[in-house]
């Protein structure tokens, strides 16, 4: 299932069809963070992750990625708006 750049609402439809439960984790840009993530198409990001309650997540938020949490549970890593890379890759 393609998740990147899809909204939480779109992804939840797919998740519920598969009879899975969801927990959430917020991802934020943080230039001081030691945690980095490199996307081969967009560039490098310095990010911070933190738990977030389901009722605080909007259906229009973006899913950054999905991670299996446990049997029947998926963790959606979400952001309220697109993150900008710290180092963008040159466009071809």
Beta strands at 21-29 and 73-79: parallel, antiparallel or unpaired = parallel
List the domain range (segments joined by +) for residue 75: 8-83
Q: How many domains does the chain have?
A: 1
**Two tokens at 41?**
């198409």
Three-state DSSP at 59 gives coil
Whether 58 is covered by a domain: the verdict is: yes
- Asked if the structure places residue 27 within a domain, the reply is yes
pTM: 0.78
Structural domain includes residue 30: yes
Q: Which of 62, 63, 32, 64 is nearest to 48 (CA)?
A: 32
The model's pLDDT over 11-59, given as tens digits with 9 standing for 90+, comes to: 999 899 999 999 999 998 777 766 666 665 566 777 888 999 999 999 9
Residues 6+ away with beta carbon under 8 Å from 73: 20, 21, 22, 23
């Amino acid at each position: 299932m393609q998740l990147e750049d899809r909204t939480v609402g779109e992804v939840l439809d797919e998740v519920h069809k598969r009879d899975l439960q969801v927990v959430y984790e917020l991802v934020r840009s943080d230039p001081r963070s030691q945690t980095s993530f490199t996307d081969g198409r967009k560039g490098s990001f310095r990010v911070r992750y933190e738990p977030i309650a389901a009722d605080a997540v909007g259906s229009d938020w973006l899913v950054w990625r999905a991670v299996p949490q446990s049997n029947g549970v998926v963790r959606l890593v979400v952001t309220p708006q697109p993150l900008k890379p710290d180092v963008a890759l040159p466009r071809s």
